[in-house]
Amino acid sequence: MSEDAVPPAARLLRDFVNTYEPQLDEESLTTSAALRDWLVEQRLVPVEARVTDDDLDAARAVREGLREVLLGHAGHDTDPDSLGRLRTVLADFPVRVHLDADGYRLVGARSDAVGRAVGELLDAVRRATEDGTWPRLKVCARDSCRWAFYDASRNQVRRWCSMAGCGNAVKMRRAYAARRARTRQEP
């Protein structure tokens, strides 16, 4: 699927969740400077924005909470503790409604850079919800992967980030287990 086919709000949320890759234990947001650089790259904060280590911890908590929600979109049970942590963190990032001739959007009520950036992420959730793409944002069903992806399939039933990689590995594992079970039952 072309990157152009992913709506901007969904792309922003997917890319934010994918700043950590669980399968490789690869963290992109390693420092507060790395977080600032990512936010600048996404045009969520100005280059001179000040980002603290506390901001980094909060951004990672928001990211992992969003990952948990997207796991639910993929049909998995979500961890109530993870969702509770997300709600607790988001309580520190109030938003307000900004109305103008074009409609409305959510903006961060805090004046700091990360407060405004989290407001933009929450507005992306609002936009994705309104345009129907929010449930299409999912996390790979392969336990060792958990990569966020946009499900552009007609029926919204995609379960893996990639059929060639994770989907194939899961199906092969199931086929092997079924074959082993059959051979154990044979006399």
CATH code at position 138: 1.10.3300
Domain range for residue 8?
3-185
Check residue 45 and report its DSSP letter: S
> Per-residue DSSP letters for 73-142?
HTTPPP-HHHHHHHHHHHHTS-EEEEEETTEEEEEESSSSHHHHHHHHHHHHHHHHHHTT-GGGEEE-SS
Q: Are 147 and 140 in contact (CB under 8 A)?
A: yes
Write the DSSP string, 156-167. S---SS-IIIII
* Residue 52: both structure tokens together: 């603290």
DSSP 4: G
Nearest to 55, CA basis, from 77, 28, 17, 29: 29
Q: How many domains does the chain have?
A: 1
Confidence of residue 141 (pLDDT cuts 50, 70, 90): confident
Cβ count within 10 A of residue 40 = 17
pLDDT for residue 7 is more than 70: yes
Q: What is the dihedral of CA 11, 15, 17, 21, to 10 degrees?
A: 140
- The neighbouring-strand residues paired with 104 are 99
Better-predicted residue by pLDDT, 94 or 184: 94
Reported as a single tens digit per residue, the pLDDT across 29-79 is 999 999 999 999 999 999 999 999 999 999 999 999 999 999 999 888 888
